[in-house]
Amino acid sequence: MAKRIQFSRHGGPEVLEYTDFTPAEPGPQEVRVRNRAIGLNFIDTYYRSGLYQPPALPSGLGSEAAGEVEAVGSAVTHLKVGDRVAYATGPLGAYAELHVLPASHLVRLPDSIGFEQAAALMLKGLTVQYLLRQTYAVQAGQTILWHAAAGGVGLLACQWARALGVQLIGTVSSAEKAALAKAHGAWATIDYSREDVPARVLELTGGAKCPVVYDSVGKDTWEMSLDCVAPRGLLVSFGNASGAVTGVNLGLLAQKGSLYVTRPTLGHYANTAERLQAMANELFALVAGGQLRVDIGQRFALAEAARAHEALSSRQTTGSTILLP
């Protein structure tokens, strides 16, 4: 027996249950991992609330963790018991002491990366990798806009953009979060609670706006983001922190400058073991080289997952949050 978080119905943090379960034996292509640290991410709240549907209920939760290989399937040859590993692409069930998942979803951890660091880094870091390096390959000298720059993904984006010579404008909700984003490499910040974001973007870019805008907030910032994109530029909508974007009027894209829009997900970029490992290698190299540091702002016991979700949803967190089994 082992402990995990599960939910039997959709709703708020109160639906999360800390319960016993019996972990499965790994199939031929699977591995069982003893989690040492677990990542908390906004996408977890989407599954809990019902915005995203799990395969079935009751369901486990979470897709990111780091730990040690405890058992391997008969056809797994590249991993062995005792290997240090991390994962970020599911399946659901990472909020647990033990988790069984496809071996192809695991990456080996270098000795320089600790379990807590990896759990705080994998999903967010790989997200920044595909957004800045693949969805839109930003170039040195460009000025870009990134919403929620003081969050876990945002702080990594600030650092990665600086490493690439990119001027990142980050939106934040307070002076404290503005200082945090600037300390991590943001070129400029905009406090959306008291400043007009599109007007400030125009001012900061000399009227040119941004070739790409990265928006994880969703419904509340959708039209604001469109107003910050340069003609023929790209809006990357990669999250729904304020709710899903619905009823998109394609005519607006023409009116605002023949804009492009995409809604990417990590799974479509890290869709093979080779691509996943290559993305992780680039991420780990930046950490090892000192260009990226991981800030763990909060640690909660696994049993306190509901309290962790409350803090995340109310924007009381900074940096990354991890759960400890």
211 and 256 assigned to the same domain: yes
Place of tokens 């080779």: 274
313/196: higher pLDDT: 196
Domain end marker among 263, 288, 313: 263
Lowest mean pLDDT among 22-31, 127-136, 177-186, 236-245: 236-245
- Give residue 151's pLDDT: 86
What is residue 72's predicted lDDT score, i.e. its pLDDT? 97
User: Cα(196)–Cα(244) distance, rounded to whole angstroms?
Assistant: 22
- Please report whether residue 131 resides in a domain: no
The DSSP secondary structure of 169-209, one letter per residue, reads: EEEESSHHHHHHHHHTT-SEEEETTTS-HHHHHHHHTTT--
105 is a domain residue: yes
Q: At residue 107, what is the residue type?
A: V
Shared domain check, 177 and 115: no
Boundary (domain end) residue, out of 239, 263, 287: 263
Provide mean pLDDT across the span 59-76: 97
> What is the CATH classification number for the domain harbouring 282?
3.90.180.10
In a domain, 255, yes or no: yes
Residue 282 within a domain: yes
Q: Residue 168 is part of a domain; what is its CATH number?
A: 3.40.50.720
Give SS3 for 237: strand
Q: Is residue 192 part of a domain?
A: yes
Contact 5, 65 (CB under 8 A): no
Return the pLDDT at 302: 98
d(CA 68, CA 36): 8
User: What's the pLDDT at 176?
Assistant: 93
Cis check for the bond before 91: say yes or no (omega within 30 of 0). Answer: yes
> Do 18 and 98 fall within a single domain?
yes
User: Do 146 and 71 share a structural domain?
Assistant: no
Q: Is the pLDDT of residue 113 over 90?
A: yes
Decide if pLDDT at 244 tops 90. Answer: no
The reply to whether 236 and 317 lie within a common domain is: no
pLDDT band at 30; cut points 50, 70, 90: very high
For residue 61, being part of any structural domain is answered with yes
pLDDT digits (tens, 9 = 90+) for 121-162: 999 999 999 999 999 999 999 999 999 999 889 999 999 999
Same domain, 115 and 151: no
Residues in the chain: 325
Same domain, 251 and 283: no
Residues 151 and 259 in one domain: yes
Which residue range is the domain that position 239 belongs to?
140-263
Distance CA 41, CA 33 (A): 20
3-state secondary structure (DSSP) of residue 213: strand
**Measured CA distances, 152 to 40, 148, 197, 212, 272 (Å):** 10, 9, 21, 20, 25
Based on the fold, state whether residues 303 and 202 are members of the same structural domain.
no
* Count of beta carbons in the 10 Å neighbourhood of residue 226: 20
Tokens (6 digits) for 157: 């984006």
Treating both helix axes as pointing N-terminal to C-terminal, what angle do 152-163 and 175-183 enclose, rounded to 10 degrees? 40
| Structure-token match 């989690």, residue found | 35
For the residues 164-176, what does the mean pLDDT come to?
A: 96
Please tell me the pTM assigned to this model.
Answer: 0.87
Mean pLDDT estimate for the chain: 95
Same domain, 96 and 150: no
Q: Indicate the residue among 210, 240, 263 that finishes a domain.
A: 263
Confidence class for position 294, pLDDT limits 50, 70, 90:
confident
- Asked if the structure places residue 34 within a domain, the reply is yes
Looking at the structure, tell me whether residues 145 and 185 fall in a common domain.
Answer: yes
Classify residue 42 by its DSSP letter.
H
Share of the chain above pLDDT 70, in %: 100
Bridge partners, 188 (sequence order): 169
Cα(7)–Cα(48) distance, integer angstroms: 7
**Overall domain count for the chain:** 2
Is the pLDDT at 242 greater than 90, yes or no? no
Are residue 45 and residue 20 in the same domain, yes or no? Answer: yes
- Give a yes or no: residue 283 inside a domain: yes
For residues 176-202, give the mean pLDDT.
Answer: 96
